[in-house]
Amino acid sequence: MGGESASAEADFFSCVRLGDMEGAADHLARETVDVDCTDSSSSGGGATALMVSAMCGHADMASMLLSVGAQVNLQDEVNGWTALMQAVFYAHRPVS
């Protein structure tokens, strides 16, 4: 993975964590990231953006990611959990 791609993914995941819909949508529209890319940061655990939005309780972000084709059945590298499992674990009912 090139440095530019890694930087775009890091920025994309930052947008998702913060609930920055405009920033995340911009990355997806410009195709700088894949909607199902995984967070490769030391704390990311291989989570997808949909999983991160579920963990953070960003229901609108989760809806947007689903609308552009995010896969719901992917599992993280740490626990093998899906986005739904993350939402339930973190008690974010609106996301689940």
pLDDT in tens, 37-61: 999 886 778 999 999 999 999 999 9
CA-to-CA dists, residue 8 to 23, 28, 45, 75, 76, angstroms: 11, 10, 18, 22, 20
The reported pLDDT for the residue numbered 3 is 64
- Start-to-end CA distance of the chain, whole Å, equals 32
Q: pTM score, two decimals? A: 0.91
Q: Give how far the C-alpha of residue 77 lies from the chain's centroid of Cα atoms, to the nearest Å.
A: 14
| Average pLDDT of the segment spanning 74-93 | 93
pLDDT in tens, 61-71: 999 999 999 99
Which fold, 3-89? 1.25.40
Q: In angstroms, rounded to a whole number, what is the distance separating the alpha carbons of residues 57 and 55? A: 6
Q: Which 3 state secondary structure label does DSSP give 65?
A: helix
| Average pLDDT of the segment spanning 2-23 | 90
